[in-house]
Structure 1
Amino acid sequence: MAESFLFSIAESLITKLASHAFQEASRVVGLYDHLRDLKKTLSLVKAVLLDADQKQEHNHELQEWLRQLKSVFYDAEDVLNEFECQTLRKQVLKAHGTIKDEMAQQIKDVSKRLDKVAADRHKFGLRIIDVDTRVVHRRDTSRMTHSRVSDSDVIGREHDKEKIIELLMQQNPNDDDKSLSVIPIVGIGGLGKTTLAQFVFNDKRIYECFSLKMWVCVSDDFDINQLIMKIINSANDANAPFRQQNLNMVDLEQLQNQLRSKLAGKKFLLVLDDVWNDDRVKWVELRNLIQEGVAGSKILVTTRIDSIASMMGTVTSHKLQRLSSENSLSLFVKWAFKEGEEQKHPHLVNIGKEIVKKCRGIPLAVRTLGSSLFSKFEANEWECVRDNEIWNLPQKKDDILPALKLSYDFLPSYLRQCFALFSLYPKDYEFRSFEVVRLWGALGVLASPRKNETLEDVVKQYLDELLSRSFLQDFIDCGTFYQFRIHDLVHDLAVFVTKEECLLVNSHIQNIPENIRHLSFAEYSCLGNSFTSKSVVVRTIMFPNGAEGGNVESLLNTCVSKFKLLRVLDLSYSTCKTLPRSIGKLKHLRYFSIENNRNIKRLPNSICKLQNLQLLSVRGCKKLKALPKALRKLISLRHLKITTKQPVLPYSEITNLITLAHLYIASSHNMESILGGVKFPALKTLYVVDCHSLKSLPLDVTNFPELETLFVVDCVNLDLELWKDDHEEQNPKLKLKYVAFWGLPQLVALPQWLQETANSLQTLFIKNCDNLEMLPEWLSTLTNLKALEISDCPKLISLPDNIHHLTALERLRIVGCPELCRKCQPHVGNYDNWCRRMKALLGSQDAWEIVEKDGHVTLSDLTRVTVDLTRVSDLTDDLASSLSCPTQLSSLLQSPLRYSPFRVDKHTP
């Protein structure tokens, strides 16, 4: 299936060869003619690739030709990357001489091979199709969280919803009976069990019936400790989630006590979504631990397996049926057309009826295929889907892979590689767009940003397109990053289409095929004896859940000696004490992380030979004495995340990193001042976290002309007012859009310089600022402010009277400010007037709330709180995970756990 990537690879190679920088470099070293000929042949082959991809399904000779072509393309890609590496190294080292002799033969060899394979294209009668017309037309789609779903997106499930709600609200026959009712929803994959549970979970009657609602995604890991932790986190007030430093060392008794305190005296609803465990002993153990609620507490379970539903349920399982033909067509039309548009195209609707029949009433298949045909009005495109022979392939019972594969075939070629890389992550993984940026960028599968665009902008566009095709779910637009999952059947599709390229290694895999280029290990123990790949073409080695406990010295030695083409090496949470000096030989490496390694004290200076490196992360390496010398040589670096014992950063080195866009400084406790007088012309985001000795943070617009996002967190001695803006009024102002101040006891009032951002600031978060007493009247001058959250500021006593002048405000959330909340009780002081003004400003009750520390809503006219700003915050990078459910960031940085409102994993991103 990897042959479907060829058009995209050819396009990227041609784009690279056509770039001004590449052509200039090739002229300098005398290779211009060679590379021009290579580009010409690539263009000839590219012209017929789209036709070849469509015709290969039943033509084995054509399939073989494409396989040969793929091999040559990848070799060409490696040769061009080698040329770039040599050029960059020559630029940094100012070496004399030429690299012509080193590269000319390699380019000649790959050109000769390509010419030979390309000559065979005439045998297949392939048409020339120069442009991939499978473009995506963006649509306005609803954003979903894990437990929310738009009612308008649910078709044909009203009857199911009412039956489930009736069971949930049913009182036990004996009011003193505290035994838990467990209601199972059972059905095949893709049928909409989770959607139905979401539909129920957010019904107003459920809010009124249950004082505590919890949502836990169980998936295939029924570990009792993990599940209790997830339940606790879901039950927690969003501002103080319970966390442990190492789940494997948590005392079960301690967890049980926490759980009891959360559930005691409350009538709760717990949703256990996607259960696969058939071990009754484990289920009974968990059930016994959650018997603390009052009478009427309920558990709602979703599962694919009847025997599990029977084992867990106390009532007859609700068996979810397939959608009727009528409802299937309604769902299909909803996703294939804009509202009312179908009336203009009755002939397409008739073809759609035949397509829908083949989806067999499975909503996921219906929705995905409908999305793939959105804004396509040529009958032949619809007929192609209807008549595709993939429907005739041997299928397992209830198999919907053919429907999903058809949707994949309709993806533009540039999206196919990106989508396929999702297969490197485990099922039910919670993705964040900033980690996707790093991986896709390092592997070179992104289009070059256009003028005034960044790679982050390109990734957002790609994810919007995948979302519009229904390949993503549980999607949250957080402003500067996206958070999402993919359905496990969509994950199966990603594995299917890239099985020759990507492999997620788990305990069941004994051998690694030779042709695998991207390797991901479910956990460090999976590396073990299975790591016997004979391949030398590996480009990715990663541990999406972290290489916790892994001593990776032998792996590193293998990488250096064997995997010389490696682009991505992520060894987060490993325990090695040293890195080999030979790591500098991995000249193709673009992404290297050893963050949260608690043993490493030094990095070899040879790491600065990696001129292609785009990301270097040593965040959380608390024993690291100093950064490597000669950082200035990392001229491609975009992301730098550091923890160091140095009292002063090597400014002369860092200031030379002119492409640096994201800088993260954490747990560097010896630094009293940072960044003074250093210019960062491209820096977009700055994180200063858990730096206890830090006293000042100068932010001069001259030095930070592009800075948009600022996080200052847990810097207990920092006085933000120590820096004063001495510039004239007419001088340029900071362009900050997103600002977070957390854990700053020195903060008594917002720093005056924040006024500079009046025309740019969109989101402001203030948390755990124990001495903050009031917000300034000039807050109302922040005319672009869309989101304001204030939490855990116990001395805050007032808000500006003119806060209603924030006419751009869309979200307001105030939590854990008891002095302020006392003044906001109904009918106290100016509360009613203030309330009316805020409602006039913000409108929907979903947009604002004021909450006491214990979680009680104090605004009497709010019937329910459905929007938690901490889930739709405008943040980027790693702090997003902590903002999703805010916590003391020092705890986050020390913890090998990863938390989000949807799941608890072992690792922060």
Structure 2
Amino acid sequence: MIRDELDRSAGHDATPDLGDGLAARVVHARHATRGAAGNWLSCFSSCCRPSRHDNATVAGSPSMASQTKHDNEHTKELPFNRADISQKLKTLIEGLDSICPAVSELIKTYPTSVPAPMKRPATSSVITQKKLNGRDAIFHQTIDEMLKCGTHHDHTENMSVLPIVGPGDIGKTTFTQHLYNDNRAKQHFTAFGWVCVSTNFDVTELSRKILKSLDANGSEGSIRDYDKCELDQLHKFIQEKLKSKKFLIVFDDIWEHDSSKPTSTKSFSKGEWEKLLAPLGMGETSGNMVLVTTRFPKVANAVTKGTNQVDLHGLEPDEFWEFFRQCAFSGTEDDNDMEILTDIAKQIAKKLKCSPLAAKTVGPLLHKNPTRKHWRQILEKEEWLKQKDGDDSIIPALKISYDYLPFHLKKCFSYCALFPEDYKFDMLEISCFWDSIGIIDSNGKNDKTEDIGSRYLSELYDNGFMMKGDDNHYVMHDLLHELSQIVSSAECAYINYSSFRADDIQPSIRHLSITIKDKYIESFKGEMEKLKDRVDIRNLRSVMIFGGYRSIRTANVLKDTLNQILALRVLFIFINSPDSLPHNFSKLVHLRYLKIETLWRCEVCIPSTVSKLYHLKFLDLKSWGGNDYNLPKDFSRLINLHHFLADEEFHSNVSEVGKMKCLLELKEFHVKKGTLGFELAQLGQLQELGGELCICGLENVNKEEAVEAKLKDKSNLSKLRLVCGTEHGDDILDSLEPHSNLTELSIVNVGGGLAPSWLGKNMHITNLDTLHLDGLDSLECIDCPNLNELPLSSCSGSSAEETNTMWFPNLCRLEIRGCPQLSLALVPHTSTLTYIHLNDTILTLDNDVCFQGYNGALAFQNLGYFEGIYSTAYIRHMSLIDFQPLHSLQKLLINLEDCECEDTFFRGLDEDVNVVVFNSIKDLGLYHFSLTRKVLSNLFKCFPALHGLSITSKESNEEVTLQIPSSCSLRYINLWDCKNLMLPVNDGVGLGNLTSLESLTIGDCGNIFSQWYSHMGKATQTTSNPFPSSLSKLYIYKESSIYSMALLSNLTALTSLRLEDCYNLTKDGFNPLITSSLKELSIINSGSVAADLLAEMATMPEVAFQLEHLEVDSISAALVAPVCSFLAPTLRKLSICGDDRVKVFSDEQEGALQLLTSLERLSFYDSDVLQSLPEGLHQLPSLTELRICRCPGIKSLPKKGLPSSLEKLSVSDCSSELEEQSKIFQEEKNKRFEEERERQSESD
């Protein structure tokens, strides 16, 4: 073993696994020194680099006690050359000796005394920026919050604390200055104080500052010299001054620093904060307010009291552009250059990520020299990132926070530079990464990697370096990502495939990441060649490739660049063929973390050599898209593997998994009868197994074999699923009793049988919160005090009606399907329920209840937490009045089809005086009911806060006018089959008063516009319109009562317009400006409207169209040269649907199609007469997808072929000839791909 270890170290220039002792700290010290000395120290690392011939050394595998004799017979013992090893050790020691003098000199420059506290600029309450740009909404919301605090009858505190938190220099102080000086605040509060806290949280000194500020702001009481007063006296003075005052006090810029560091300042803590606030809470008045600004979420969470914190981030894009424009333009620019300068400024604005500080930094740089050359130089070179001076520059301002981080967090943050912008950091992934590169420090404890990583990630969040995103992920602000790249530039390089220059990368790097785009760029190969000459690839510790690609040339460039890698600890690789792996992949024996991604349905398999990566701790195959889920037979040799992140198919294929004793999760295990390596006893050897586990094939085991799984010993398991395929003995489940820590249990018993005895009265799994039982013949009610989720399926002999209804007091989710003999007591029997589904259809919606054909009693008083109610079939005894106790209800969707009791349901809505009111409901859907004037007139009184309304009506002879109060804040309306519904004219307002309306769908109503044309006399010009100009999406389907486009003439904000089966519609009154913002336009079966509209749009060159998707029913309307010319810059998708006139494409239409150089997707649908495709398809340079559906007349693909850019050809419901050619085309494309790859390999 010693020989193997020595040989591996010598042959691979690999730092050994240092652990947590002195060696690890030496490496950390080297990193810290390099950060302090910059590039000066990077040259020393070359002294320890291996000689060229070292790469030929082949590492051996470590001896493993658990290996079989057969394995040992095939293991070749490697030669041990004592002289060679001695020489290598001598070379290493001499290299270290040469570094020592320089390092010693550097260490002498470090001060041994306590470092001076960081100087932060002082702040005051005086407004420094007159206009608060882009914060109007949140500003008024915060003012309202400040003024109403303490006014609620249930508010017991006389003081509230409102923290304002955000990244450095995002504008927190400016925002707070405006709050402090607002007239409403001045009138509401009677005493004011402003205290700049900064990094020294000294309670005594801060108390003095409070008193001095109160005196300066005219507070009553005597003015004293507080400098010699002790804390007790200071607090008494504060209490005296504020005894009968309603005060507003600001603590600006509170910092928290690492309390373990030697420093002359005092750190913030919850205890010290409460000590500071003690005299402020002793007054006689209520409604007092304390504002706190900080860049640390941890501080904000600690101080919050009686309010919700205000999170300040970057401005909205429109608001930022307006602010940036004010900073950049002086008003003296040359009119001839104005358009170009504006365009350059907008490009710069996109790079500034909506940061107010960035606007204030870059704006003056542009302002001082308003010329094209200067502005383009700033854009191309990103000058703002290079400014070094002043706290008001972007990077120096952000780096202040970085410098204050503890050392371990600095390293964690800096290595985040290797991930792309806007990357969603998963806790487990980033923990495995940090561990693999050696910056996870367990301090001698046995903490798991993911626990330490989670703590580090949480600390970065608490310090403002991470933001919480969706789905438990973390994200990093773009400017902080820029900072991470700057501070790690000596060790890490992040390459953007399309724009990197090798000369910008420092030779000392040890970690490299590359973000790839599918399109090959010629300069990429040349720059990567330069990179190989500049950086010693053999010394890289991490190589991370993000993004998928199909290009063979890209794959070959990467493979060639990584030809010599040997010492990797981390490898993220994308493979699109078996040849995509680096040449030395099998020799990467020091690899700790391997992540492999593939194309979807790619013909690749897991490389057999992965079993040789004996030190591998983390294997990530979550993004595996290949069809092959087989693993190497000797996969279990990876005895150090902790996390195998992959689908269940991979997990279930691990043979002899019991050898992998470090494994922490195994999603699925299949018991295979008669197959060596898949016995249930394999699980018994995995003592550390946690997370979730599914065991299938239990019909293949007996009681003795079930006991060998030792499930009761697995304390880390949280979820367990037991699946029995056919009949078996009931004692099998009895022998699979899990540990009491289990929180989720599922038993699927296809063959039927009894529930296991350990689910009975003496049940010890008291931590269960979810229990799923499927196919059991009997179920005994059990005592599960923590159970919050209970799905029951196909449990034929169960009854709960006669039991105590509080058997599951904390149940949150109840789901019952296929249990016809199950009878229940009152549903729900507990107010904790947040989801109920009864009967056969499952809707996986949280905080919702779905009823289908359920006729039992409903306990509405226990549904207070529900947010949505869905009824797919009407419940006879239900009425609107019953929903009144549901104070959290936000969505109500009711289907009244086949219902004879509409009057019962609408009880409370048809009253003239005592109408029930639901202020919480935002979305209302009423389907298949009789729409009457009375119901509609009270609908908006009953639901005053609606954001969305969907109505489907039954036929009725009673004409109903849709009148909606202007106070409504509706955002979308869907009206279907409302034959008796009409839009009112009412002096031309219609729905025009709904300024919040964004989306409107009208389908098959028939008479909805009839009053408008009676009013207009079918005029083509109108001074009023039925819809508000705010509308962005409009879909009108099968509506015979619309005659002209005049009704839509004011909709200039439309982004999506669909007109389908409107047979009476004409273009009369059409305003081309309504198309200026359109991104999607669809006109189907509406006469000649498509051709007329497109022709008129083509005559307006001054309009900058944004149309990306066009769908029409006329080839002759779309493929016209003037139309295609103005569509060419933006059109990405063209669909021709239902053209029954064109048989073959004319020369003019072929020529027009060639103008669409940006077209990516082309579709032909539902054409019985079309006989051929355009012959010039092969000349469309950007086309990636071609769809042909239900076009039986097309017999073949174009004779000249299809464009080389085409990635997807979809043919369905067409002629057999065309479908056969489509298959041949795909096969030939795959063949050409293989041939090109082979040619590239031969040329290399």
Q: TM-score range by the shorter chain?
A: 0.5 to 0.7
Q: Tell me what 1:802 maps to.
A: 806
> Among 463, 469, 472, which residue is 1:469 paired with?
463
Give the Cα separation in 1 of the matches to 2:789 and 2:855.
Answer: 24
- Quick check: 1:109 aligned with 2:103? no
Scaled by the length of structure 1, what TM-score is found? 0.52
How big is the shift at 1:862? 3.3
> Among 642, 659, 663, which residue is 1:660 paired with?
663
Give the Cα separation in 2 of the matches to 1:200 and 1:748.
Answer: 64
Q: Tell me what 2:837 maps to.
A: 817
Give the Cα separation in 2 of the matches to 1:457 and 1:27.
Answer: 34
Q: Deviations over 1:71-128 (max 9, x none)?
A: 66x869x9x9999976836888594764765554444323322222222344346278
RMSD: 6.8
> Among 609, 612, 618, which residue is 1:609 paired with?
612
Structure 1 gaps, min length 5:
1-20, 57-61, 135-155, 157-162, 164-184, 206-303, 306-317, 354-365, 840-844, 867-909
- Quick check: 1:860 aligned with 2:878? no
Query: Which one has the bigger helix percentage?
Result: 1
Letter in 1 for 2:784: S
> Among 405, 408, 414, which residue is 1:414 paired with?
408
How big is the shift at 1:419? 1.2
Report if aligned partners of 1:82, 1:588 keep a CA contact under 8 Å in 2: no
> Among 709, 716, 732, which residue is 1:708 paired with?
716
499-508 vs 438-447, which moves further: 499-508
Q: Tell me what 1:492 maps to.
A: 482
Task: Provide closer, same or farther for how the CA distance between residues 745 and 42 of structure 1 changes in structure 2, counting only shifts above 3 A.
Answer: closer
Give the Cα separation in 2 of the matches to 1:581 and 1:50.
Answer: 30
Q: Tell me what 1:599 maps to.
A: 602
Q: Deviations over 1:793-839 (max 9, x none)?
A: 8999979822554599999664461459478999985726756xxx9
Task: Provide closer, same or farther for how the CA distance between residues 53 and 849 of structure 1 changes in structure 2, counting only shifts above 3 A.
Answer: same
3-state SS of 1:324 partner = helix
Report if aligned partners of 1:89, 1:611 keep a CA contact under 8 Å in 2: no
Task: Provide closer, same or farther for how the CA distance between residues 395 and 327 of structure 1 changes in structure 2, counting only shifts above 3 A.
Answer: farther
Within 5 A, what are the aligned runs for 1:342-353? 343-346=203-206
Q: Deviations over 1:262-297 (max 9, x none)?
A: xxxxxxxxxxxxxxxxxxxxxxxxxxxxxxxxxxxx
Q: Tell me what 1:324 maps to.
A: 177
Report if aligned partners of 1:500, 1:515 keep a CA contact under 8 Å in 2: yes
Report if aligned partners of 2:194, 2:252 keep a CA contact under 8 Å in 1: yes
Q: Tell me what 1:172 maps to.
A: none
Give the Cα separation in 2 of the matches to 1:198 and 1:70.
Answer: 56
> Among 508, 512, 518, which residue is 1:519 paired with?
512
Task: Provide closer, same or farther for how the CA distance between residues 334 and 833 of structure 1 changes in structure 2, counting only shifts above 3 A.
Answer: farther
How big is the shift at 1:781? 4.8
Report if aligned partners of 2:559, 2:580 keep a CA contact under 8 Å in 1: no
Give the Cα separation in 2 of the matches to 1:408 and 1:113.
Answer: 33
Give the Cα separation in 2 of the matches to 1:128 and 1:121.
Answer: 11
> Among 553, 562, 565, which residue is 1:563 paired with?
565
Letter in 1 for 2:512: L
3-state SS of 1:503 partner = strand
Letter in 2 for 1:67: S
Give the Cα separation in 1 of the matches to 2:793 and 2:832.
Answer: 15
Report if aligned partners of 1:567, 1:590 keep a CA contact under 8 Å in 2: yes
Q: Deviations over 1:28-76 (max 9, x none)?
A: 9999xx99x9x9997997898799689x4xxxxx54553345666x869
Report if aligned partners of 1:51, 1:127 keep a CA contact under 8 Å in 2: no
Task: Provide closer, same or farther for how the CA distance between residues 651 and 30 of structure 1 changes in structure 2, counting only shifts above 3 A.
Answer: closer
How big is the shift at 1:696? 7.6
327-336 vs 62-71, which moves further: 327-336
How big is the shift at 1:444? 2.2
Letter in 2 for 1:587: V
How big is the shift at 1:454? 1.0
Give the Cα separation in 1 of the matches to 2:573 and 2:849.
Answer: 46
Task: Provide closer, same or farther for how the CA distance between residues 727 and 46 of structure 1 changes in structure 2, counting only shifts above 3 A.
Answer: closer
How big is the shift at 1:426? 2.6
- Quick check: 1:126 aligned with 2:108? yes
Letter in 2 for 1:638: H
Q: Tell me what 2:770 maps to.
A: 764
Give the Cα separation in 1 of the matches to 2:720 and 2:178.
Answer: 55
Report if aligned partners of 1:739, 1:765 keep a CA contact under 8 Å in 2: yes
Give the Cα separation in 2 of the matches to 1:573 and 1:23.
Answer: 35
> Among 67, 70, 74, which residue is 2:42 paired with?
67
Structure 2 gaps, min length 5:
68-74, 117-124, 126-130, 149-168, 182-191, 214-250, 269-293, 296-383, 814-829, 840-847, 874-879, 892-1244
Report if aligned partners of 1:602, 1:626 keep a CA contact under 8 Å in 2: yes
Give the Cα separation in 2 of the matches to 1:648 and 1:561.
Answer: 34
Give the Cα separation in 1 of the matches to 2:443 and 2:58.
Answer: 19
Letter in 2 for 1:863: S
3-state SS of 1:663 partner = coil
Give the Cα separation in 1 of the matches to 2:809 and 2:740.
Answer: 21
- Quick check: 1:628 aligned with 2:632? yes
Task: Provide closer, same or farther for how the CA distance between residues 449 and 822 of structure 1 changes in structure 2, counting only shifts above 3 A.
Answer: same
Task: Provide closer, same or farther for how the CA distance between residues 661 and 723 of structure 1 changes in structure 2, counting only shifts above 3 A.
Answer: farther
Task: Provide closer, same or farther for how the CA distance between residues 722 and 516 of structure 1 changes in structure 2, counting only shifts above 3 A.
Answer: farther
Q: Tell me what 1:882 maps to.
A: none
How big is the shift at 1:423? 1.9
How big is the shift at 1:453? 1.9
3-state SS of 2:62 partner = helix
Report if aligned partners of 2:494, 2:513 keep a CA contact under 8 Å in 1: yes
Scaled by the length of structure 2, what TM-score is found? 0.40
Give the Cα separation in 1 of the matches to 2:793 and 2:852.
Answer: 15
3-state SS of 1:471 partner = coil
Higher RCO (CA 8 Å, separation ≥ 6 residues): 1
Task: Provide closer, same or farther for how the CA distance between residues 393 and 379 of structure 1 changes in structure 2, counting only shifts above 3 A.
Answer: farther
- Max Rg structure: 2
Q: Tell me what 1:590 maps to.
A: 592
Give the Cα separation in 2 of the matches to 1:725 and 1:634.
Answer: 31
Q: Deviations over 1:208-254 (max 9, x none)?
A: xxxxxxxxxxxxxxxxxxxxxxxxxxxxxxxxxxxxxxxxxxxxxxx
Task: Provide closer, same or farther for how the CA distance between residues 99 and 648 of structure 1 changes in structure 2, counting only shifts above 3 A.
Answer: farther
Letter in 1 for 2:885: S
Task: Provide closer, same or farther for how the CA distance between residues 641 and 822 of structure 1 changes in structure 2, counting only shifts above 3 A.
Answer: closer
Q: Tell me what 1:88 maps to.
A: 62
Give the Cα separation in 2 of the matches to 1:854 and 1:503.
Answer: 56
Report if aligned partners of 1:420, 1:494 keep a CA contact under 8 Å in 2: yes
Within 5 A, what are the aligned runs for 1:283-432? 322-324=175-177, 343-346=203-206, 370-372=255-257, 378-380=263-265, 394=388, 399-432=393-426
3-state SS of 1:116 partner = helix
Report if aligned partners of 2:680, 2:709 keep a CA contact under 8 Å in 1: no
Letter in 2 for 1:801: T
Give the Cα separation in 1 of the matches to 2:55 and 2:514.
Answer: 26
How big is the shift at 1:440? 1.6
Report if aligned partners of 1:506, 1:523 keep a CA contact under 8 Å in 2: yes
- Quick check: 1:685 aligned with 2:690? yes
Task: Provide closer, same or farther for how the CA distance between residues 44 and 659 of structure 1 changes in structure 2, counting only shifts above 3 A.
Answer: closer
Q: Deviations over 1:756-811 (max 9, x none)?
A: 98457465386xx89799996325255xx6xx346898999979822554599999
Q: Tell me what 1:734 maps to.
A: 739
Task: Provide closer, same or farther for how the CA distance between residues 743 and 438 of structure 1 changes in structure 2, counting only shifts above 3 A.
Answer: farther
Report if aligned partners of 1:419, 1:494 keep a CA contact under 8 Å in 2: yes
Give the Cα separation in 2 of the matches to 1:668 and 1:578.
Answer: 34
3-state SS of 1:817 partner = strand
Task: Tell me the number of residue pairs that the alignment of Structure 1 and Structure 2 aligns.
Answer: 625
3-state SS of 2:628 partner = coil
How big is the shift at 1:433? 0.3
3-state SS of 2:482 partner = helix
Identity of aligned residues (%): 17
Report if aligned partners of 1:571, 1:594 keep a CA contact under 8 Å in 2: yes
Report if aligned partners of 1:475, 1:483 keep a CA contact under 8 Å in 2: yes
Give the Cα separation in 2 of the matches to 1:568 and 1:618.
Answer: 14
Give the Cα separation in 2 of the matches to 1:693 and 1:438.
Answer: 33
Q: Tell me what 2:859 maps to.
A: 831
How big is the shift at 1:405? 1.0
How big is the shift at 1:411? 1.7
